Amino acid sequence: MNIIGPDFLVFGVDDMESCRQYLTDYGLKAAGDDRFLALDGTGVIIKPKDDPSLPAALETPTMLRKTVYGVADQATLEAIATELSSDREVKRLADGSIESVDDMGFALGFQVTVRTTLSLPAEIVNAPGSSHQRAVNDIGVQKVAAPEPRSLSHIVYFVPDFARAEAFYAERLGFITTDRFTGVGPFMRPAGTTDHHTVFFIQTPPHMLGCEHFTFHMAGPTEVMHAGRNMVEKGYQSFWGPGRHLFGSNWFWYFKSPLGCNMEYDADMDLHDDQWTAREGAPGADNSQAFLFKYTEKWSPMGPPPGAKPQ
Amino acid sequence: MEELAEGEARGFDPLDEGQDSVFVVRRGGDLVAYRDICPHYGSTALPWRKDAYLDAGGKDIICSAHGARFAIDTGLCTAGPCLGESLIPVPLQLSDEGEVLADLNSNNSVGVVK
């Protein structure tokens, strides 16, 4: 199954105007019809929670209503339709996509991917000994920046049975487990990407079924920091970060949102192919991150001018 | 007390910690106050931005991290990760000057100022 990754996440929300403002401030571009897009055309779609075009709401408070995966071609789409039709309804929508559900009850969409191929440099760092450095006289950072999210990276679900979720995505859709937290759940990637994960499952009681967070890829750690600082300066509240995860190596910064889940920036995730052997670790703070920081306002060690009294 | 409109919530930072630690909701003419901590993790403040403690209809208190919903009058989580757990109430008193005073050292029942 040549599934590439999530193209869109569709939310049925309580407060459209706050969500519009939030998603725009996060850095996505409003593209009409309440679609908010990253540079490669992937993104978030919001609708009022009672919009009749949305798949049915779950019984839990989650506002996530559908995960739309982009696939390589029409043949893949047909293969998925055939596979899922064996034991569940598969709808064909007017836009050419198909819609069904996974074994947890989450609505899934599949479409020939809308994502464009980006050609943009990653953040390049200078280090002694490295042959890959910024060009001489290229400046590494600006005082003010508005980094643009590049691509919808991954989604994390709370599920009541991670083993069943993992089996569905592996056996029915061809996802591969890259790493796992014991007793919590797997990180998985579909066959059409080398990203460490486009989905992670967290075992929870059934009343938590829903979206824990979702994430867009940025150019590098500097963009994660800059974008996160911009969010703090606009009055949004950090949930976790900034820091750097161990499984996946991705830099992270999570913010609470009016979409009923956290929204993250990430950068520099590991890439894996079929030669990779999945690791397993105990869950907990020590295995979740290499390091974790907390934002503080700008400060300088300059102190007062010579002879002046300390403030 | 008159500064807070009906159906509104506001966070306060009484210990000057740099982040709100208590919030007050006015509904039905009453004020109720809780610690700004979601019982889910016990260390996360609720709102996605300052003072965003209520849903759009002003019906429930919500935690924006994972969507937990709490009854305004009791603080009981009615849906979401911390189902059945409760926000920590902060008793309130109304001074003769019309100021609302919060008792930060008490875990008694919800204080209501008429």
End-to-end Cα, chain B, rounded Å: 10
Q: Cα–Cα–Cα angle for A76, A78, A82, nearest 5°?
A: 115
A118 pLDDT higher than 50: yes
As given in the structure block, the two tokens for residue A135 are: 């060009």
Task: Tell me which residue in B62, B67, B83 faces A62 most closely, judged by beta carbons.
Answer: B67
Helix (H) or strand (E) holding A77, with range, is: helix A74-85
Q: Which of B15, B63, B47 lies closest to A237, judged by CA?
A: B47
As given in the structure block, the two tokens for residue A106 are: 């989450």
Q: What is the pLDDT of residue B106?
A: 58
**Is residue A12 less than 8 Å (CB to CB) from chain B?**
no
CB contact set of A138 (below 8 Å; sequence gap of 6+): none
Please tell me the least confidently modeled range out of A77-91, A197-211, B14-28. B14-28
Q: What is the pLDDT of residue A311?
A: 55
**Is residue B7 less than 8 Å (CB to CB) from chain A?**
no
pLDDT tens digits, one per residue of A178-204? 999 999 999 999 999 999 999 999 999
**Is residue A242 less than 8 Å (CB to CB) from chain B?**
no
As given in the structure block, the two tokens for residue A160 are: 């009541």
> Three-class SS of residue B60?
strand
> Three-class SS of residue A207?
helix
A158: left (phi over 0), alpha (psi -120 to 50) or beta: beta
CA–chain centroid gap for B66, Å, is 17
Report the percentage of chain A scoring pLDDT > 90: 94
Q: How many CB atoms lie within 10 A of CB A249?
A: 15
Q: What is the mean pLDDT of residues A17-32?
A: 98
Q: What is the pLDDT of residue B33?
A: 95
**Is residue A4 less than 8 Å (CB to CB) from chain B?**
no
Give the whole-angstrom CA distance, residue A209 versus residue A161: 10
pLDDT band for B1, please (50, 70, 90 cuts).
low
A301 pLDDT higher than 90: no
Q: What is the mean pLDDT of residues A281-299?
A: 92
What average pLDDT is seen over chain A? 96
Structural domain boundaries in chain B: 1-114
Q: What is the pLDDT of residue B97?
A: 77
Give the whole-angstrom CA distance, residue A84 versus residue A99: 10
Q: Which of A250, A268, A264 lies closest to A122, judged by CA?
A: A268
B5 pLDDT higher than 50: yes
State whether A256 and B50 contact (CB < 8 Å): no
State whether B48 and A236 contact (CB < 8 Å): yes
CB contact set of A160 (below 8 Å; sequence gap of 6+): A104, A203, A204, A205, A206, A208, A209
> Three-class SS of residue A79?
helix
Best probe of the A interface among B49, B70, B82, by most A CBs < 10 A, is B49
* Contact (Cβ atoms closer than 8 angstroms) between residue A9 and residue A66: yes
Give the whole-angstrom CA distance, residue A163 versus residue A282: 16
State whether B50 and A62 contact (CB < 8 Å): no
Q: Which of A161, A185, A170 lies closest to A104, judged by CA?
A: A161
Architecture label for domain B1-114:
3-layer Sandwich (2.102)
CA dihedral for A238, A241, A247, A250, sign (positive or negative) = positive
* Contact (Cβ atoms closer than 8 angstroms) between residue A215 and residue A195: no
pLDDT tens digits, one per residue of A220-260? 999 999 999 999 999 999 999 999 999 999 999 999 999 99
Q: How many CB atoms lie within 10 A of CB B51?
A: 15
Torsion angles phi and psi, residue A258, rounded to 5: -80, 10
pLDDT band for B114, please (50, 70, 90 cuts).
very low
> Three-class SS of residue A226?
helix
Q: Which of B41, B32, B43 lies closest to B10, judged by CA?
A: B32
- Domains in chain A with CATH codes: 3-116+146-292 (3.10.180.10)
B28 pLDDT higher than 90: no
Chain B residues lying within 8 Å of A205, measured CB to CB: 83
**Is residue B47 less than 8 Å (CB to CB) from chain A?**
yes
Q: What is the pLDDT of residue B110?
A: 47
